[in-house]
Amino acid sequence: MTATLTSTEPADQAPAADSGSLIPLATGELACSDCGQAVRDDGERVTVTVYLAAQSPNGPSKEQVLSFGRCPACAERRALVAEVVAAHPALGGRLGPAGALDRLGAALAVHAAIGEPLPSAETLTGSVELVSALIRHLAPAGNGLRWSLRYDGERAGTGPWDHLPDSQLAAARKAYVAMLSERRQAVDGAVWVAPPDAPDADLSGACLLCGRDLVLAQSGGADAWSPTVISTPSVIAAPTSPESLKGWVCAPCMSACQHVGSVGQAAMMRALEEELRTSGDEDGSARLQRLGDSAWLVSWAAVVLRERRAGRPVPGPNREPWGHISMEV
């Protein structure tokens, strides 16, 4: 097995001040590219190209190819990731095949680094909602855990994941706990429900308005998604078109539409306000209130249609509802 990855991060040749313990490699040993423990060099190497920071501001950046090994536990975890991604083609469609492998790999690395058991292959291949929740919660914290992102090929950690500073492990554990509490809610009778497939593939994967792709719903989730036809796409800031816009609207957005009596700016404002309120984003909420009637919200469908019309890659669903809207400005 030889993987070639490219990293634009400068190699960190000196251990950071708060890193765990490192030991020199003995002859015939390599560090596991993921967990950093020393493994026997059996010729199956993982190579990583890093670009060292230039010596002077205009100097050439130096390229270096580093060699690592892979321990049985990390090899097994990567095989599990590949099996799960292959079992959920929609995931590869949404994140790109390499993106799906990378993000689920990062999510499961969190389990390994904090010493929690991995979900079984059966559990993971049986639930795309679980896999999506793992990626959503854990991939950001899991991204920077790999040994090969930080260290050269000269040393190893004293044991698996020993190179990680306490601060990074604490962040990984916090993300894991957040994932668990969401899953527990899901286990208490609620289920994550994705929108059903629709003929227009670009718009079928998420709520036309807020862009979320999963709704936590009780009692089987029959009301989680409503088929919706928008005859005047401009009311949700979508490009004008002779054809009406067809897709799905999530339960929270639909409840805002029903309250207002139509799909449009007023309903979107109400749904976004509600989302900011329940997520405790008081700053965002205050900004939205200041904007008042002058706010003009762009729907997720509008972003997709604009990008598609411009011939640019179509964005996937939002990781958080209304994630395409910045409340910073």
Which positions lie near Zn ion, rule CB under 5 A?
Answer: 32, 34-35, 71, 74, 207, 209-210, 250, 253
Strand ranges, E, within the chain = 4-7, 22-24, 29-31, 38-40, 46-52, 62-68, 155-157, 191-193, 215-217, 225-230, 245-250
Closest distance between Zn ion and the C-beta of residue 115, in Å?
13
Residue closer to Zn ion, measured from CB, 34 or 125: 34
Cα–Cα distance, 89 to 83 (Å, whole number): 11
Answer yes or no: are the C-beta atoms of 321 and 268 closer than 8 Å: no
The whole-angstrom separation of Cα 50 and Cα 65 is 6
Exposed / middle / buried, residue 273 (Cβ in 10 Å: 0-12, 13-18, 19+):
middle
**Nearer Cβ to Zn ion (88/324):** 324
CB nearer Zn ion, residue 12 or residue 274:
274
CB of 35 to Zn ion, least distance (A): 3
Under 8 Å between Cβ of 191 and 217 = yes
CB of 70 to Zn ion, least distance (A): 6
- CB 23 within 8 Å of CB 138: no
Least distance from Zn ion to the Cβ atom of residue 57, Å:
37
Asked if residue 245 lies in contact with residue 203, where contact means CB atoms within 8 angstroms, the answer is: yes
Q: Quick one: 114 or 253, whose CB is closer to Zn ion? A: 253
Give the span between the Cα atoms of 95 and 109, in whole angstroms. 18
- Which CB atom, from 39 or from 134, has the smaller least distance to Zn ion? 39
In this complex, which beta carbon is closest to Zn ion, that of residue 71 or of residue 139? 71
CA dist 172 and 181 (Å) reads 15
Shortest distance, position 318 Cβ to Zn ion, whole Å: 9
Residue 191 or 251: the one with the smaller Cβ distance to Zn ion is: 251
**Minimal distance, residue 249 CB to Zn ion, in Å:** 6
Q: What is the 3-state secondary structure (H, E, C) of 98-146?
A: HHHHHHHHHHHHHHHHHCCCCCCHHHHHHCHHHHHHHHHHHHHHHCCCC
